[in-house]
A and B are shown apart, each in its own frame.
Chain A
Amino acid sequence: MAKLLPFRPRIAVGMGTCGTGNGSEGVYHAFADAIDKRGLDIHLARVGCFGFCAQEPLVNVWLPGRPLVILHRVQSQHVDEILDDVMMGNIPTALALCKIEEWDHITAQVKYGTGYANIPSWRDIPFFKGQKKIVLRNCGLINPDDVEEYIAVGGYQSLYNVLIDNRPDVVIEQIKAAKLRGRGGAGFSTGQKWDFLRKAVAEKKFIICNADEGDPGAYMNRNEIESDPHSLLEGMLIAGFLTGATMGIIYVRAEYPLAVHRLERAIEQAKEYGLLGEDILGRGFNFNIELVEGAGAFVCGEETALINSLEGFAGRPRPRPPFPAQKGLWGFPTNINNVETWYNVAPIIARGPAWFTETGSAKSPGTKVFSLVGKVHNTGLVEMPLGTPLKTFVYDIGEGGVGGRAIKSVQTGGPSGGCIPHEMFDTPVDYESLAQLGSIMGSGGMVVMDEDNCMVDVARYFIEFTNSESCGKCVPCRVGLDKSLRILNRITSGAGRMQHMETLEELSRYIRDSSLCGLGQSAPNPVVSTLKSFAEEYRAHIEDHKCPAGVCGVQPVGETA
């Protein structure tokens, strides 16, 4: 705790990839230089990201006994001024976004202090209102490079309890009772998957963290790892113990150098502290975690392709069954979970399944981190209870369209998600409801679109992506998506015909039903959902040679083929 709440002021700069992209590296060095030059007694730290990307760089300032204050849009030129204030025992109010008086790290509570009546509490900021930080409980508040800060907020306590208690069956039942579902997209019961692995009899068993995050625009997993790598290690360690796995592997996207770096540090520190390796916490439990950098293709995030890639083959999916739990890495039983799934483990153990199911909907308890982007006022990473209506994201958290413009649709789930029209914004965001509307939860992407977005072009754009990422193994996806793209290109260029809409539907149904892996099976969603809800826009391109949003360069071309 002495590091989080020292007896002197603490300044922490948000330095995830998003923060550094907005200049926080410079801000940090400006602070370091100035503190050094002026010989100030201030504890300077790096932290991860607090999620409000539109307001980066964020800087936390804490004076002993007072609330933690989050400053926004801090630039290097503000540094001297901030230090002047801090040394006088003041807070630079002009830069203050909000304050935090106490924080629930789930595994521990931190009381920062009280005061600053004129600064709004973080809960009163529309962007944060309604958010519930379970997965992101530590993000932006603790130093990801310092295991002691993680331990100070109750980190590794769940692991310790599980090891001491030594009743793996009971704990797996708790994970089942919490109804934790995989956050990688498909929403399968995590407890059940672990149970399969536990029951599998084999000489070796593996658990894998899927940190391939290939969806364009998705960066929740990156942020989670960069801000709080130890939570991931703890989740995997617990599962390793419960399932009898012999090794853990984190398959992380190669384009995430900072995440890789922080994980390497975290693994090193965990080993130093006896939390990883041989005889963990003196309980005779041996477990190692290895880091493997991904091969860079979107489809490598699919679990069987990921396993192929780990084995040194091309990242192409294999037919399932056999499922990884039966025959996974090197033929051994294997359990794969998404990054975010692992982050829910320690909290469930710390607070129990009944606490976990209080949040979210009956079938999908807990929260999910979404990346809210596009034509809304506030953008960033938001962690919301599952089952929250879509309109809450758009109008409350996002505070509506940019410049008050009307919102037309939200596309959820990444490149293979569907577009949900405005009329359906009452829909609760959970696995089943989204699937019913022809969309998916996916990794939690949310792209907000207004009248300036052409829905035909949106469908075309996503098919262009999935088509270019198809591995080419199976015919429906390889050739079917190519055909869909060609037809969409014709429509957006003005050479479409009305019968193309029917052909697109037929092709989509076929690709969905007969593709080998999830990429092909879900790739048609953007086309099917826009054909359903925005048929009028297709018709306008085809019959009137007009793009209502003015996006496509529609030219009335003579009919060819």
Chain B
Amino acid sequence: MRPATTNVKTLKIDGRDLSGRQEETILEVARQNGIFIPRLCEMEGLTDVGACRMCLVEIKGQNRLLPACVTAVEEGMEVTTDSERLQNYRRMILELLFTERNHVCSVCVSNGHCEMQMLAQRLGITHVHFPYRYPKEEVDASHDRFVIDHNRCILCTRCVRVCDEIEGAHTWDITGRGIDAQVITDLNEPWGSSETCTGCGKCVHVCPTGALFEKGRSVAEMLKRRQFLPYLTMMREENE
């Protein structure tokens, strides 16, 4: 056994005895140990916002469900990452997201590589029992190389964060509230005329769905590359 220093916390996740560093989140420790917790807004290297609520877990002795991506590990914590209730709620999130805008996988550039689609398969979603909204959302293809299709945006804000925190451009932001919230470029101008966008494409590659994609990709062709993320944050931390 390791000596219990204040920096190391020992805890149980799904019955397994594990340890993590102080300030590490449940999700990080689970991931290091090969325990799968579904997530949509979390992305390694970006600030965690706890927005999608996909990663909710149960903690013994607490009535409330807590998001694994923003909850720091604590000594003696007993975490359950999978239960009927959690599965139900996770399915509900996906159902709500599928009905919020227009996700027609069969014609989507990300078909087969979409994080939301993969989660839906994994959680065994076969049908959606809420009515669809079918909003009319815009597609902005004004940029030379990229397109944003708001029909497929799930408002995870990964694009906003990567652009601000890694690229430092802060091109993306959120406008509006509630069901009318939208991601925007600059002050809600067409992406193509954005003065801050450096064209780096990081947003495209972190987007979990087919909302952001490269021009010229057709159905199922948009593969996302994320290797740059941990590397970049490592560089950034070293420079600090």
> Which A residues are closer than 8 A to B by beta carbons?
297, 299, 314, 318-319, 321, 467-476, 478-483, 486, 503, 506-507, 510, 513-516, 561
Whether A479 contacts B177 by the Cβ 8 Å rule is no
Whether A467 contacts B179 by the Cβ 8 Å rule is yes
Whether B49 contacts A475 by the Cβ 8 Å rule is no
- The answer for the CA separation of A473 and B154 in the assembled complex, in Å, is 10
8 A Cβ contacts from B70-107 to A: 70-72, 88-89, 92-93, 96-97, 99-100
Residue of A299, A319, A479 most packed against chain B (CB within 10 A)? A479
13 of the cross-chain contacts (CB-CB < 8 Å) are A467-B179, A469-B177, A470-B178, A471-B177, A472-B176, A473-B49, A473-B51, A473-B181, A475-B52, A475-B53, A481-B178, A503-B130, A514-B65
Which A residues lie within 8 Å of B88 (CB)? 510
Which A residues lie within 8 Å of B130 (CB)? 483, 503
Which A residues lie within 8 Å of B97 (CB)? 475, 479
- The answer for the CA separation of A514 and B91 in the assembled complex, in Å, is 12
Whether A476 contacts B131 by the Cβ 8 Å rule is no
Whether A514 contacts B51 by the Cβ 8 Å rule is no
Q: Decide yes or no: A479 and B180 within 8 Å by CB, A319-B70, A515-B53 being known contacts.
A: no
Whether B177 contacts A470 by the Cβ 8 Å rule is yes
- The answer for the CA separation of A314 and B52 in the assembled complex, in Å, is 18
8 A Cβ contacts from B147-174 to A: 154-155, 174
Whether B178 contacts A467 by the Cβ 8 Å rule is yes
Can you list, as one digit per residue, whether each of B29-59 has a CB less than 8 Å from chain A (1) or not (0)? 0000000000000000000111111101000
Q: How far is the CB of A466 from chain B (nearest CB, A)?
A: 9
Whether A478 contacts B181 by the Cβ 8 Å rule is yes
Q: How far is the CB of A186 from chain B (nearest CB, A)?
A: 13
- The answer for the CA separation of A299 and B177 in the assembled complex, in Å, is 10
Which B residues lie within 8 Å of A482 (CB)? 100, 133, 178-179
- The answer for the CA separation of A319 and B49 in the assembled complex, in Å, is 7
Not counting A468-B178, A475-B97, A486-B133, a sample of 13 additional A-B residue pairs whose C-beta atoms are within 8 angstroms of each other reads: A319-B70, A321-B71, A321-B72, A469-B178, A472-B155, A475-B54, A476-B92, A478-B155, A480-B92, A483-B130, A483-B131, A506-B92, A507-B92
Whether B93 contacts A475 by the Cβ 8 Å rule is yes
Q: Which residue of A lies closest to B97 (CB)?
A: A475
Q: How far is the CB of B47 from chain A (nearest CB, A)?
A: 10
Which B residues lie within 8 Å of A470 (CB)? 177-179
Which B residues lie within 8 Å of A297 (CB)? 177
Q: Which residue of A lies closest to B50 (CB)?
A: A319
Which A residues lie within 8 Å of B100 (CB)? 478-479, 482
In this assembly, does B67 line the interface, its C-beta being within 8 Å of a C-beta of chain A? yes
Which A residues lie within 8 Å of B49 (CB)? 318-319, 473
- The answer for the CA separation of A468 and B65 in the assembled complex, in Å, is 25
- The answer for the CA separation of A318 and B49 in the assembled complex, in Å, is 7
- The answer for the CA separation of A482 and B49 in the assembled complex, in Å, is 22
Q: Which residue of B lies closest to A506 (CB)?
A: B92
Whether A480 contacts B96 by the Cβ 8 Å rule is yes
Q: SS class of chain A's interface: helix, strand, loop or mixed?
A: helix
8 A Cβ contacts from B199-222 to A: none
Which B residues lie within 8 Å of A507 (CB)? 92
Residue of B72, B93, B178, B179 most packed against chain A (CB within 10 A)? B178
In this assembly, does B122 line the interface, its C-beta being within 8 Å of a C-beta of chain A? no
Whether B177 contacts A474 by the Cβ 8 Å rule is no
Which A residues lie within 8 Å of B174 (CB)? 314, 472
Q: Decide yes or no: A478 and B179 within 8 Å by CB, A510-B89, A514-B89 being known contacts.
A: yes
Q: Decide yes or no: A472 and B72 within 8 Å by CB, A478-B155, A514-B65, A516-B50 being known contacts.
A: no
Q: Decide yes or no: A474 and B51 within 8 Å by CB, A510-B89, A514-B56, A514-B89 being known contacts.
A: yes
Residue of B70, B72, B100, B179 most packed against chain A (CB within 10 A)? B179
Which A residues lie within 8 Å of B154 (CB)? 475
In this assembly, does B129 line the interface, its C-beta being within 8 Å of a C-beta of chain A? yes
Which B residues lie within 8 Å of A475 (CB)? 51-54, 93, 96-97, 154
Which A residues lie within 8 Å of B65 (CB)? 513-514
Whether B53 contacts A514 by the Cβ 8 Å rule is yes
Q: SS class of chain B's interface: helix, strand, loop or mixed?
A: loop
- The answer for the CA separation of A467 and B133 in the assembled complex, in Å, is 15
Whether B179 contacts A510 by the Cβ 8 Å rule is no
Whether A510 contacts B51 by the Cβ 8 Å rule is no
Which A residues lie within 8 Å of B129 (CB)? 503
Q: Which residue of B lies closest to A473 (CB)?
A: B51
- The answer for the CA separation of A248 and B72 in the assembled complex, in Å, is 30
Q: How far is the CB of A468 from chain B (nearest CB, A)?
A: 6
Q: How far is the CB of A279 from chain B (nearest CB, A)?
A: 40
- The answer for the CA separation of A474 and B88 in the assembled complex, in Å, is 17
Whether A476 contacts B96 by the Cβ 8 Å rule is yes
Q: Which residue of B lies closest to A516 (CB)?
A: B50
Whether A476 contacts B53 by the Cβ 8 Å rule is yes
Whether A561 contacts B131 by the Cβ 8 Å rule is yes
Which A residues lie within 8 Å of B70 (CB)? 319
Whether A516 contacts B72 by the Cβ 8 Å rule is no
Q: How far is the CB of B178 from chain A (nearest CB, A)?
A: 4
- The answer for the CA separation of A318 and B51 in the assembled complex, in Å, is 9
Q: How far is the CB of B172 from chain A (nearest CB, A)?
A: 13
- The answer for the CA separation of A41 and B112 in the assembled complex, in Å, is 88
Q: How far is the CB of B220 from chain A (nearest CB, A)?
A: 25
Which A residues lie within 8 Å of B133 (CB)? 482, 486
- The answer for the CA separation of A475 and B97 in the assembled complex, in Å, is 7
Q: How far is the CB of B122 from chain A (nearest CB, A)?
A: 17
- The answer for the CA separation of A540 and B179 in the assembled complex, in Å, is 30
Which B residues lie within 8 Å of A314 (CB)? 174
Whether A516 contacts B179 by the Cβ 8 Å rule is no
Q: Among B52, B92, B99, which residue has its beta carbon within 8 angstroms of that of A510?
A: B92
Which B residues lie within 8 Å of A514 (CB)? 53, 56, 65, 89, 93
Q: Decide yes or no: A478 and B178 within 8 Å by CB, A473-B51, A516-B50 being known contacts.
A: yes
Which A residues lie within 8 Å of B176 (CB)? 472
Q: How far is the CB of B94 from chain A (nearest CB, A)?
A: 9
Q: How far is the CB of B205 from chain A (nearest CB, A)?
A: 23
Whether B96 contacts A472 by the Cβ 8 Å rule is no
Q: How far is the CB of B29 from chain A (nearest CB, A)?
A: 16
Q: How far is the CB of A221 from chain B (nearest CB, A)?
A: 23
Q: How far is the CB of A256 from chain B (nearest CB, A)?
A: 22
Which A residues lie within 8 Å of B92 (CB)? 476, 480, 506-507, 510
Q: Which residue of A lies closest to B67 (CB)?
A: A319
Which B residues lie within 8 Å of A318 (CB)? 49-50
Q: Which residue of B lies closest to A514 (CB)?
A: B53
Which B residues lie within 8 Å of A515 (CB)? 53
Q: How far is the CB of A22 from chain B (nearest CB, A)?
A: 34
Which B residues lie within 8 Å of A469 (CB)? 177-178
- The answer for the CA separation of A468 and B54 in the assembled complex, in Å, is 23
Whether A476 contacts B177 by the Cβ 8 Å rule is no
Q: How far is the CB of B70 from chain A (nearest CB, A)?
A: 4
Q: Among B56, B64, B72, B96, which residue has its beta carbon within 8 angstroms of that of A479?
A: B96
